[in-house]
Structures are given as structure tokens and as C-alpha cells.
């Protein structure tokens, strides 16, 4: 898949990390039904590889589906076998190199300019500012875009609807959202509430598009 094109098109990456594999699968499918069509399943969740494999079987071969929290080459290979077609890392790691060797695009976790340069050398397709809230929020994104104006940044970590608006206004190619979007759905919580939150975030994306951001 063309990860960068997908990020530019959808602008919202849903991050599913759950303690209940069945609930996590339902969360993935519900997000996609509601229009959050770019989703990653974190490998730190319970039976995450099985969730990815079951989601892939349900969605078919063409739906974008990622594996998150890829820490190592073994993680990247396992995600590929499960059916993920992109990977997301929390940091610069061997997982980037292994994923690229497998033909998988990578959203690489970075926090500093040195991280960004290292991830770019390894072939990352886009750069996940993580943890964005602790790094300095939208102001830090603006600072990074000074020396790296053309690079695609995706803030992740503490991104609620208000922060999402600010990041997109400051030039983020997309935002990655975990608990402010997922809530407790991936642990067995209500899917109606998940649908409501998905609608709120999709409204932010639509507003950004209307404003030309």
C-alpha cells in the first residue's frame, strides 16, 4: 500500500489496543464501518496478531490495516504474516529495516531531530511524533517543521479532538488517536459510544479539509 497517500487522504489513524481480543476486533470493524478507514492494531494488546489476522479475513485484501508497537525485526515479520500491510513503531528500531525488507511501509516513531534523520535513513515513509503531548504539543510540531518542512509528521499521544484541530492547522499530515477515540471499546465497552467519538473526530477532519488544511 501507499501509506503516505493513505495518511494524506484519510488524515486520521485509529489506534486499537485492547485487553479483549474479540472486543478489539469488533472495535476495528466498527471504526471502519463508521469511516475511520485507516486503523492500526497495537501488538501490545491481547492476542494482537490474531486480531490482525481475523480483521484481515473479515475486511479482505484491500483494506489498509496496520500493526502498531512494532519494536523489533521479529515483530515486523510476525505482523506481515498476520496480514498487516503497514507497521507503526514507537521509536527508531530494527523493526523499520525488517519491515522495509518485507515491502511494508513504515510510520516510524520519532521525538528528536536526530530520531527523524535516523528514521529517514532507514527508509521510513512518515514520522510519528511520539509522545506528542509530552514533547510539546502543536508548538513542537511547528518547531520541527522549520528544519523539516517537507516531511510528513503524524502526532500521536494525548491527541483529543481539540489537539487534533491544532495539529492539522500546524501542518500535520494526519493525527494518530488511541484512547480519546477508542475509549474502553477494545476492552469490551460500548460500541455506540465509539461510534459517537468516531463521528466527532471525523468532523474535525472534514473541518480541516474545508479550511484547506
Integer Cα distance of 213 and 92 in angstroms: 28
49 phi-psi bin (left φ>0, alpha ψ -120 to 50, beta other): alpha
Instruction: Give per-residue pLDDT as tens, 44-83.
Output: 999 999 999 999 999 999 999 999 999 999 999 999 999 9
Among candidates 172, 85, 87, which has minimal Cα distance to 135? Answer: 172
Q: Among 26, 33, 40, 133, which one carries the catalytic annotation?
A: 40
Domain 3-192: which topology?
TIM Barrel (3.20.20)
The whole-model pTM stands at 0.97
Contact between 187 and 20 (Cβ < 8 Å): yes
Instruction: Give per-residue pLDDT as tens, 32-47.
Output: 999 999 999 999 999 9
Q: Kindly state the average pLDDT of the residues 174-178.
A: 98
- Residue 211 scores a pLDDT above 90: no
Helix (H, G, I), strand (E, B) or coil at 174: coil
Torsion angle (degrees, nearest 10) of CA 76, 189, 11, 150 = -50
The helix/strand count (H/E) of the chain reads as: 11, 8
In 9-166, the DSSP E strands lie at 12-16, 39-42, 65-68, 86-88, 106-110, 126-129, 153-155
Q: Kindly state the average pLDDT of the residues 139-166.
A: 97
- Is residue 128 flagged as an active site residue? yes
Q: How much is the pLDDT for 17?
A: 98
Phi, psi (rounded to 5 degrees) for 8: -65, -30
In this prediction, what percent of the chain has a pLDDT beyond 90? 99
Contact between 133 and 158 (Cβ < 8 Å): yes
Q: Among 128, 193, 207, 210, which one carries the catalytic annotation?
A: 128
CB-count burial class (<10 Å; 0-12, 13-18, 19+) for 121:
exposed
Integer Cα distance of 57 and 84 in angstroms: 11
Where are the chain's structural domains? 3-192
Q: Write down the mean pLDDT value for the chain.
A: 97
Amino acid at each position: 500500500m501507499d501509506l503516505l497517500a493513505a495518511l494524506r487522504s484519510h488524515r486520521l489513524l485509529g489506534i486499537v489496543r485492547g485487553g479483549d481480543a474479540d472486543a478489539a476486533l469488533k472495535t476495528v470493524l466498527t471504526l471502519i464501518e463508521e469511516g475511520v478507514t485507516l486503523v492500526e492494531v497495537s501488538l501490545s494488546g491481547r492476542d494482537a496478531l490474531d486480531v490482525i489476522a481475523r480483521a484481515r479475513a473479515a475486511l479482505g485484501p484491500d483494506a489498509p490495516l496496520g500493526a502498531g508497537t512494532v519494536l523489533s525485526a521479529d515483530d515486523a515479520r510476525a505482523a506481515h504474516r498476520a496480514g498487516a500491510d503497514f507497521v507503526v513503531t514507537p521509536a527508531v528500531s530494527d523493526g523499520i529495516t525488517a519491515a522495509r525488507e518485507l515491502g511494508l511501509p513504515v510510520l516510524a516513531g520519532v521525538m528528536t531531530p536526530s530520531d527523524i534523520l535516523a528514521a529517514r535513513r532507514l527508509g521510513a515513509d512518515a514520522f510519528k511524533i511520539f509522545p506528542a503531548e509530552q514533547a510539546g504539543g502543536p508548538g513542537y510540531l511547528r518547531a520541527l517543521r522549520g528544519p523539516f518542512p517537507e516531511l510528513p509528521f503524524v502526532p500521536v499521544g494525548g491527541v483529543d479532538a481539540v489537539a487534533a484541530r491544532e495539529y492539522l492547522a500546524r501542518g500535520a499530515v494526519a493525527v494518530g488517536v488511541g484512547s480519546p477515540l477508542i475509549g474502553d471499546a477494545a476492552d469490551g465497552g460500548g460500541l455506540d459510544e465509539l461510534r459517537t467519538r468516531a463521528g466527532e473526530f471525523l468532523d474535525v477532519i472534514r473541518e480541516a479539509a474545508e479550511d484547506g488544511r
